[in-house]
Each structure stands twice: as structure tokens, then as C-alpha cells.
Homo-oligomer: A and B are copies of this chain.
Amino acid sequence: MTFVDVSSVNAFIPGQVELDAHEARMIEQRDRLLGPAYRLMYQKPLHFVRGEGVWLYDPDGRRYLDTYNNVVSLGHCHPDVVEAITRQVATLCTNTRYLHETILELADSLLSTVEGDLSHMMLTGSGSEANDLAYRIAQVRTGGTGVIITETAYHGITDAVSKFSPTLGEGVPLGMHVRTVPAPAAYRTGPNVGERFARDVESAIADMKRHGIRPAMLIVDSLFTSDGILPEEPGFLKGAVEAIRKAGGIFVADEVQPGFGRTGSHMWGFQRHGIDPDIVTLGKPMGNGQPIAGLLTRHDVVEEFGRSSRYFNTFAGNAVSCAAAAAVLKVIKRDHIMDNARNVGAYLLSQVEALRERHACLGHVRGAGLFVAADIVTDQESQASDRARTTQVVNAMRENGVLISACGADHNILKIRPPLIFSRENVDLFVDVLDKALEL
């Protein structure tokens, strides 16, 4: 049997709606073969057999506009990435204990996207492994173990990282060395979020020290994705970064979600804030679906770790994953993907914003590039979260062929995160379907 998990955003809960026979059988097989820990999305789960560009297709040939999956940020089955993988997988797929060109080319183009002293790239197999490695490096670098995160953060699922990923739910306890601070939401708390955030980080540090815990790192998703997508006031992270450094810790920018051009204005979310992280972690869209992730760091940060711990990861840095990631970077540049994210993102934001006039349940709308958030509320006056309606909207859109999900502590924030090749026509379709879903 499948466990009911009411804490998981937009998870399938068995028994709520009637399923087609084929999907019901697949769900039964999943429960039997994959066990009780896996979750499906939507009240009526989806079965896909093909993807192309912004579209996913079910077995009946019905297409769904993918406005959610940021892994395939260049679109499903992007021809350049498919070609790079197809070519490399037939030629060579080996590891970093031998010399090969592709990893060096990848490092060179990736490091050319950052300023300052970030001079090294290290590769992992997932964003979780990247944040886990960042934490290992931070501990060696600082001699500390303490971690500061935002209240509704998600950084991954390894044993260590799950201890600083509160969105995994109350069944996964935070570490005793972990402190949380409220995410900086100007639209709810008013201006001066930077000062407030810095003060909260300082309090967390003081509390940590009072408990004999030495700070290792402050880690934030620079777009605060799981906290509700908070792009306001570029620059507000500066004070917090200064505070953690003053306490002997390092600052890690988790770019697994905001990175690779999604914000349109910058390649990386942290660049919007004019700060220089000690470590930048990378993931999801890095290989447009091919497993590859990693981090960028300065020499002095990783020097002692390199000496004492060394690093080898069997799959990470294999020639095929490197070829995919190199192709992604090439396409982002060649096809002016960031311009598209900026222009189409601005159009998407304005069109969703425009719906507020006609829908009292649409609260605050905000975004950066092709990452847009919209609060679903009981009314625009009180701004009170309406989780039930959010679930209804997400599932109504799925019924009408558009995929999104929700996020935030109250599970009431629409998470709109289409591929970066999204067009104005795609936006029009999206807004039309959203409009209808908000009428329910």
C-alpha cells in the first residue's frame, strides 16, 4: 500500500480520484516494486512516454505544457545535448583518474561565467552530493560543524544534507548543529529585509556558539525557491554573508535551482546580489537531464581538503556527462537563452500579475526571469494562505494540460518554472489555463 503523506506538496494520495486501469496497474506495480518511500505528483498521476521541447506526451498522444521541470531547462530532448551524449557514449565513457579533454573544456567554460577568485570546478553526481561535498569542505576549512539555513530550505537528501533540509518534513529531524532563520520575504514583512536577515543570521551564530558549536557555513538558495521564491531587493544577502565570515564560517550559494541562466539577468542567482560566495553548488539543469552536478570554489577554500581528504567520485566527471554539460553551456550562449528567459519571463510575470484584477484568490506575484511565484490566498486584503485552493488550481491545470506545482511553508505558492526556451505563445496558453483554473 502507498502511504498517505499530507505534508508533501502536490503528492498523489490514493483513493481520492478514480484512475484509468493502466495507470492504476502501474501504481500498484510501483508500490510493490519501488516500495513505500516513493511519491507521485498530482491527484491523478501522469504517465509520460515522450518529451520534446516544452511538451510531454502521454501514451494516448495527449500533450502537456511543461511549466515545471527545470532539469530539462533547454527543453526535453534538446537536439544538441542528445547529439553530444549520443556521440560521446559511443566513443568513451571513463573517469577522472585518467586524463580526458572534455572535463577540462567544461571547467574552462563554466569558470568563465563567474568573476573573482572562483577558480576550481569539482564534479558530483547530484545536487545533494554537491551540497554534501560543500559541507565536507566547509568543515575542513573552518574546523566547525554548524550550519545556518532558511526555515523552509531544501538542499538535498544525503544523511548530512537531509539534516539541513527542513522541507523533508518533521519525520526527518534537523541536526543538533543546525539553526534556521526566516527567509527574507519583503512582500510580507516590509522593506529592510537585508538588515533583518543579517540580524537573524547573527542571532543564529550567537545561539550556536552558546551551545559550543563552531559555525561552518551559511547556505542559501539565492532565489529562496523552497521558501516561496523570493527575488526581491537584489543585494540583500550582503550583510548575512559578512556575518557568517566574521564568525569564521563560509558562505555557500546553492544554485541548483536558480542557476544556469534561469533568472535571465545573470547566469547565477548569487550574481544578482553582488556577492562572492566561497562555494557555489550546481545541479539539476547542468546536463539537461544527464546526471551531472558539482561546485565551484576558490583555491584557498579547498586547499586543506585537497591535501587531507582528496576526492574521487566514480561517475562524476565521466566523459558522457561532461559532454552533455558542455553542450548545455554552448547552447545557452549560442541561442541567447538568457535573453529569452529575461524577455519571456518579464512577459509571463506581467500576464500572471494582470490576472490579479479578476481573481481575488491571486495574492502576491513575483519572479526573476523564467521563475515565477504566485501566492494563492483567501483574499488579497488579508493575504491569508489558501492551501486547499492551491491544490485545486495545480490539479485543474494538470487536467487542462499544463504542469506546475506548489511550494512554501503553507504549500500555497504556485511554482512556475518552465524550460528556458519558453515562448510568448507558450505564455499565452499557460495564462489562459491558469485563468480558468483560478475561476474554480
Contact = CB atoms under 8 A, between A and B. Distances in A.
A320 interface: yes
Interface stretch (A103-111, A187-195, A228-236, A331-339): A103-111
Contacts of A51: 91-94
A68 to B, nearest CB: 10
A107 B35 CA distance: 11
A37 B302 contact: yes
Nearest to A40: B97
B48 A98 contact: yes
Interface string A272-315: 00000000000110000111000001010011011111111111
A198 B23 CA distance: 48
Nearest to A35: B120
Given A94-B69, A314-B127, A37 B306 contact: yes
A204 interface: no
Interface string A167-199: 011011000000000000000000000000000
Nearest to A36: B306
A309 B172 contact: yes
Contacts of A162: 136, 309
Given A35-B299, A320-B290, A126 B127 contact: no
Interface string A320-333: 11000000000000
A307 B76 contact: no
Tell me how many chains of this kind the complex includes. Answer: 2
Interface string A40-56: 11000111111100001
A92 to B, nearest CB: 5
Interface stretch (A81-89, A381-389, A415-423): A81-89
B305 A37 contact: yes
A142 interface: no
Contacts of A122: 34-35, 37-38
A91 B77 contact: yes
A129 interface: yes
A23 B101 CA distance: 11
A93 B71 CA distance: 10
B90 A77 contact: yes
A313 B128 contact: yes
Contacts of A136: 159, 162
A160 B157 contact: no
A104 B26 contact: yes
B40 A307 contact: no
A39 B122 CA distance: 12
A126 B315 contact: yes
A158 interface: yes
A93 B77 contact: yes
A34 B121 contact: yes
20 contacts: A3-B307, A5-B307, A26-B104, A34-B107, A35-B299, A35-B306, A36-B302, A36-B305, A37-B122, A37-B306, A37-B310, A40-B97, A47-B99, A48-B94, A49-B101, A56-B94, A76-B93, A86-B89, A126-B315, A171-B310
Interface of A: 3, 5, 8, 23, 26-27, 29-30, 32-41, 45-51, 56, 69, 71-72, 76-77, 82, 85-86, 89-101, 103-104, 107-108, 111, 119-122, 125-129, 132-133, 135-136, 139, 157-162, 168-169, 171-172, 283-284, 289-291, 297, 299, 302-303, 305-316, 318, 320-321
Given A56-B92, A171-B308, 17 more contacts: A3-B307, A26-B104, A33-B111, A33-B121, A34-B120, A47-B99, A47-B100, A56-B94, A69-B95, A82-B90, A86-B86, A125-B125, A126-B126, A126-B129, A126-B315, A129-B129, A132-B159
